[in-house]
């Protein structure tokens, strides 16, 4: 469970979509009082920051649209922006993890934004453009 503290345009498609899913999970755990993941550090940091979580969701949705993917899962609108929550892991550590784990995120981080995956990378992973 993770909401990165990195601009959404620097995440690969896989991490962007996964973060979007986890945003919905965190929102549901907090607003419905669910027990699963209720004490996870990522859930705890957003507990009193639902307006900020909604803003991050909107950033994700816009980036999903910008990349030509579909988005059909909004969150109820929350008017109160309560400031960005303090990360439970430093941004530097998050960048290091993404660079180590994901070649596409590494390319995006180095270029300052989303780059379509190279045909070589897609071939290596068995994916299509």
Q: pLDDT digit string (tens) for 11-58?
A: 999 999 999 999 999 999 999 999 889 999 999 999 999 999 999 999
Flag whether 36 is in a domain.
Answer: yes
Flag whether 61 is in a domain.
Answer: yes
CB atoms within 10 A of CB 74: 11
Flag whether 90 is in a domain.
Answer: yes
Residue 9 per-residue DSSP state: G
The first and second tokens of residue 21, run together, are: 């899913």
Query: How many structural domains is the chain composed of?
Result: 1
Integer Cα distance of 117 and 25 in angstroms: 28
The model's pTM is: 0.83
Flag whether 86 is in a domain.
Answer: yes
Flag whether 2 is in a domain.
Answer: no
**97 against 129, higher pLDDT:** 97
Q: Is the pLDDT of residue 103 over 50?
A: yes
Flag whether 1 is in a domain.
Answer: no
Flag whether 3 is in a domain.
Answer: no
Q: State the residue range of the domain holding 74.
A: 8-125
Flag whether 110 is in a domain.
Answer: yes
Integer Cα distance of 10 and 29 in angstroms: 27
């Amino acid at each position: 469970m993770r909401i990165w503290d990195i601009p959404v345009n620097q995440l690969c498609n896989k991490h962007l979509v996964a973060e979007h899913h986890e945003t919905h999970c965190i929102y549901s755990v907090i607003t419905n009082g669910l027990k699963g993941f209720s004490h996870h550090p990522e859930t705890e940091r957003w507990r009193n920051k639902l307006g900020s979580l909604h803003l991050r969701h909107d950033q994700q949705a816009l980036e999903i649209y910008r990349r030509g993917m579909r988005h059909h899962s909004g969150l109820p609108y929350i008017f109160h922006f309560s400031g960005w929550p303090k990360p439970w892991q430093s941004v530097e550590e998050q960048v290091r993890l993404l660079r180590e784990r994901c070649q596409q995120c590494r390319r995006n981080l180095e270029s300052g934004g989303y780059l379509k995956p190279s045909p070589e990378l897609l071939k290596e992973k068995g994916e299509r453009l």
